[in-house]
Amino acid sequence: MIGKQTKGRGFRHLLDYLESREDAKLIGGNMSGRNARELAREFKLSRQLNSDADRVVYHVSLSAAKGDKLDDEKWSEIGD
C-alpha cells in the first residue's frame, strides 16, 4: 500500500478535482452527499463548528502496490 497525505484549507477544490478524474468513484464514507457540491455543503457545516481551524482538509490518497488488485469492498474496508 502506498499512501500520500495532504492538508489544505478548502473542501470544494479537492472535491472538484476528485470528481473530475475519469477513474474516480465514491466507494464509502460517512457523509450523505454524493457529488462535490453536496459534500462541500456538508463539510462547510462541519467547519462552522470550529471557525478557528485553519487547515481543515486532510486528504489521504492510497494506491495499491504494483500487481495488487483490490475490489471496492476491500477499498471501503481500508478507508474505514
pLDDT tens sequence across 37-51? 888 888 888 888 888
Write down the pTM of the prediction. 0.59
Q: Report yes or no: 25 and 14 within 8 Å, Cβ to Cβ.
A: no
- At residue 13, the pLDDT reads 79
Q: Are 32 and 42 in contact (CB under 8 A)?
A: yes
Mean pLDDT, residues 64-74 taken together: 90
For residue 36, give the nearest of 3, 11, 60 by alpha carbon. Answer: 11
Residue 74 has pLDDT above 80, yes or no: yes
